[in-house]
Structure 1
Amino acid sequence: MIKLFKKKQKKGLIYANDLVGCIGKLPVHKEFIKHYVTRPELAHLDQWYQSAFHTLRQNYGNETKIIFPQMPLHNYIYYITNSQPMIGTVIPSHDQSGRIYPYTVFRILENPLAQEFTSAIPEMYADFFNDTTTLCNSCWENKLLPDVFSQIDRLNKTATHILRRDILEITVTSLNKLTLNNYWQNISQQYSDLYLEPFIQAIFNALNIVRETKKKNPWGLRLPLATGNMSNTNIIFWLQLIQSALAKQEIFLQIFWNKESNQHKAALTIFFKPMPASYFTYLVDQHLESNALIDVVKEAKTITNISESVKQITNNINMPLIEVLQKLSVYATNNSCIM
């Protein structure tokens, strides 16, 4: 059995008043907005979005005005070297004059458990992500900038009080409740032309590439997400699996996820190593194909040969996701999933 988390127990701590702020443009203001951009990592985030949007406009020219507004809302976990994790939500937006630009609400996490247990962050901070999603989906008509700042300032009043054993219980319980069949029924409703065995084989193949990340240039991996109440459990599953494949490699992940919409499938997009500004394009245009981003669903549709290891899993489709995670992690660690 893989170690989901360290079992060492420490007294629970409360970390209130994390630094929360925002960067970007909104229809409520005619200028660029910066709220509590007071630390070096936030200046880095600001600069990254400037470079990212500049690159997007270079690549798409006048088409940017059509493509950019279609970008889905993304929640994210963002690391800059050894700094604390930063979480937040980013959307396509514009100022009062209609000039387009991203808008992001961010939060720097003070709780050391957040950095230690990255895979649990979407569940640990679910209320925060729900609140930022609601804020970013607001109707901006008749709102003033001080109203927005007031809403953002209230987001840092939520304390995070959680023990290691709480995280372990949340993770194990959620992964035990869902079976591979539950997950597959959800995914197959989104992808009617996707088949289980090639999909699992594509995961195996991707894990072998993850294992070699240290030797590679920055790259990305897109994974399908279950919808509804399964979403956070699915993120936990994927991140635990990726961390198992990385083993002891000191690789910081930049993690983005979006919900299903009329134009987009629910997806988790992970970037390995420092994320070049040009990679923002993959969040805006999810149909873009490149050697720098592996889309597991697209890869699955090209697979014809299935390994015995895959068949051992798919023949037991009612196993809990925690067992699937354990089996896949063993394969990833032993490098036994290549055809």
Structure 2
Amino acid sequence: MPLRIERFGCFGKLPVSREFLVDDPRRLSESGFDRWVGEGLGLAKARFGPRADRLVAEFPAWRFLWSSGRGSWLHGLMVAGEDGAGRRHPFTILAWCEAQGPLTGATLLSLDDLLPSMRRLLEACRNAATPAEVLDVVRREPAPAPPDERGSGASLDRWLRATRAEEFWTAALGDADAASRRVVLSNLEESAAPLRGRDPSGARYGLSLPLPVSGADHATLATPDAFTTTTPAAFWLDMLNRELGRPLEAGAIFWRADGAGLSADLLVFFSRPSGPQWAALIDPDVELESLSVLKRHYPGFTREQLSPAMTGRVSRPDARLSDYLDGKET
């Protein structure tokens, strides 16, 4: 899905102002993203009670792609924020995108081309002396060249062929136990099966998939020199597209901006996420009926539930991640 970046923007709160800092509020409202964050934050405060303030204060940095409809996508870098009165609300650097075609792993990985600019804009906004200066920072930033999806696709392919599946699972799950892998992949197959070959945008649930973390023991994992969760997130997106029998064309995808901490996740929503689902951004252990956490052992799981083809891939000690995608058998 080649992307054209129209312009940068921002939304959220910083100490320089007691009000929301919003660039192009009309367009943002049409996307629904601002309403989702506001509703989700309010519901999270009700759900978590006294814990809510700490969870929002420790909000991990997330990157995301949000479908705005009609081929428009909103890419963002979202971090913890608060206004001049100490009221907590995330702050987001936005990139308005136009797309042609479906969403693939190469598309996701190509967004890393924008990350240095978005981090620089975030720092400049944080250092701004006035609210007007914050808005000027993003409005004056020229639109970048389109992300290199072809080059990202080639880079992703090399990473998939170089990365041993056992090393990936150890970094993502903390162990190389084949049973843990079978749980994740069986849950993936079970979640995707009802949507296979259909337009998944009517599904109201989401999936949480495990990502490697930078603190894990994965010194031999074939990751880029600068650790990023985008490459493994791209692998999972292509795996999901494979199970669905068609690429995603709508919904929203969130992945941790870095792999710091004990765990990291990729969140995929087939349609626009609901307010309650926002809680998954601040609490990875939250229980939501509308979010399937694929690394959890749900009641009723048996080894036989994993398809024979996938069982063969999981059982191979020498398997590469590329084997999971190209259907290579034992």
Normalised-by-shorter TM-score class = 0.7 to 0.9
2:206 is the alignment partner of 1:204: no
> Which position in structure 2 is the counterpart of 1:336?
none
> Which position in structure 2 is the counterpart of 1:69?
57
**8 Å Cα contact 1:22-1:37 kept in structure 2:** no
> Which position in structure 2 is the counterpart of 1:261?
260
> Which position in structure 2 is the counterpart of 1:290?
288
TM-score, L = length of structure 2: 0.79
Deviation at 1:216, TM superposition (A): 7.5
Summarize deviations over 1:202-240 as a string: whole Å, max 9, x none. Answer: 313322322314598511211111245363321121101
- 3-state secondary structure, aligned to 1:279: helix
- 3-state secondary structure, aligned to 1:29: coil
**8 Å Cα contact 1:202-1:303 kept in structure 2:** no
Identity across aligned pairs (percent)? 18
Counterpart CA distance in 2 for 1:14 and 1:216 is 24
> Which position in structure 2 is the counterpart of 1:226?
212
> Which position in structure 2 is the counterpart of 1:195?
177
- 3-state secondary structure, aligned to 2:192: helix
Deviation at 1:102, TM superposition (A): 2.0
Counterpart CA distance in 1 for 2:244 and 2:137 is 38
**8 Å Cα contact 2:241-2:248 kept in structure 1:** no
In structure 2, the CA distance between the partners of 1:145 and 1:127, relative to structure 1 (3 Å rule), is farther
- Read off the aligned partner of 2:313 and give its amino acid letter: I
Deviation at 1:132, TM superposition (A): 2.7
Counterpart CA distance in 1 for 2:241 and 2:162 is 22
Summarize deviations over 1:86-122 as a string: whole Å, max 9, x none. Answer: 111112211011011122221111353xx53442233
**8 Å Cα contact 1:257-1:268 kept in structure 2:** yes
**8 Å Cα contact 1:222-1:269 kept in structure 2:** yes
- Read off the aligned partner of 1:314 and give its amino acid letter: V
> Which position in structure 2 is the counterpart of 1:183?
168
Counterpart CA distance in 1 for 2:58 and 2:41 is 14
Deviation at 1:281, TM superposition (A): 1.0
TM-score, L = length of structure 1: 0.77
Summarize deviations over 1:39-92 as a string: whole Å, max 9, x none. Answer: 266552222222222222333344322221122111001113434121111122
- Read off the aligned partner of 1:97 and give its amino acid letter: A
Deviation at 1:303, TM superposition (A): 5.2
- 3-state secondary structure, aligned to 2:11: strand
- 3-state secondary structure, aligned to 2:292: strand
**8 Å Cα contact 1:90-1:104 kept in structure 2:** yes
Counterpart CA distance in 1 for 2:273 and 2:325 is 27
Deviation at 1:160, TM superposition (A): 1.2
2:321 is the alignment partner of 1:321: yes
- 3-state secondary structure, aligned to 1:90: strand
Counterpart CA distance in 2 for 1:289 and 1:25 is 28
- 3-state secondary structure, aligned to 1:244: helix
Greater Cα offset, 205-214 or 74-83: 205-214
Counterpart CA distance in 1 for 2:38 and 2:246 is 33
Aligned with residue 27 of structure 2, among 35, 39, 51 = 39
**8 Å Cα contact 2:8-2:141 kept in structure 1:** yes
Q: Which runs of 5+ in 2 are unaligned?
A: 215-222
**8 Å Cα contact 1:19-1:107 kept in structure 2:** yes
**8 Å Cα contact 1:15-1:111 kept in structure 2:** yes
- 1:18-37 correspondence to structure 2 within 5 Å: 18-37=6-25
**8 Å Cα contact 1:85-1:109 kept in structure 2:** yes
- Read off the aligned partner of 2:245 and give its amino acid letter: A
Summarize deviations over 1:144-184 as a string: whole Å, max 9, x none. Answer: 43443344346543211647x54543332232222213313
- 3-state secondary structure, aligned to 1:174: helix
- 3-state secondary structure, aligned to 1:210: helix
Q: Which runs of 5+ in 1 are unaligned?
A: 6-12, 331-339
Q: How many residues align?
A: 310
Deviation at 1:277, TM superposition (A): 1.8
- 3-state secondary structure, aligned to 1:116: coil
Counterpart CA distance in 2 for 1:118 and 1:82 is 17
2:243 is the alignment partner of 1:245: yes
